A = this chain, B = another copy of it.
Amino acid sequence: MSDLPKAVHIMEVGPRDGLQIEAKILTIAERKELVEALAEAGLTEIEVGSFVSPKAVPQMADTAALLGTLQRRPGVAYRALWLNSRGLNQAIAAGTVDIEGWIHLAASEAFVKRNTNRDIEETFAQAADWIDLYKAIGVAPDCVSIMAAFGCNFEGEVPVKRVVEMVARSRNLLADHGVNLRKLALADTMGWASPRHVTFLIGTLRSRWPELELKLHLHDTRGLAMANALAALQMGLREFDASIAGLGGCPFAGNKGAAGNICTEDFAFMCLETGIETSVDLDALVSVARLAERLVGHPSAGKLIRGGTLSEYRG
Q: Which residues of A contact B (CB under 8 A)?
A: 1, 151, 153, 156-157, 191-192, 194-197, 199, 220-224, 226-227, 229-231, 255, 257-259, 263, 266-267, 269-270, 273-275, 301-304, 306-310, 313
Contact = CB atoms under 8 A, between A and B. Distances in A.
A274 B196 contact: yes
Given A223-B263, A263-B223, A266-B223, A195 B274 contact: yes
Given A151-B310, A223-B269, 15 more contacts: A1-B199, A156-B313, A191-B307, A194-B270, A220-B303, A222-B304, A222-B309, A223-B266, A223-B267, A223-B307, A227-B270, A230-B231, A255-B308, A258-B303, A259-B307
- Determine how many copies of this chain the complex contains: 2
A202 B158 CA distance: 35
A194 B226 CA distance: 11
Nearest to A259: B303
Contacts of A275: 196
A269 B275 CA distance: 28
Contacts of A302: 223
B273 A197 contact: yes
Nearest to A301: B301
Contact of A222 (B195, B258, B303): B303
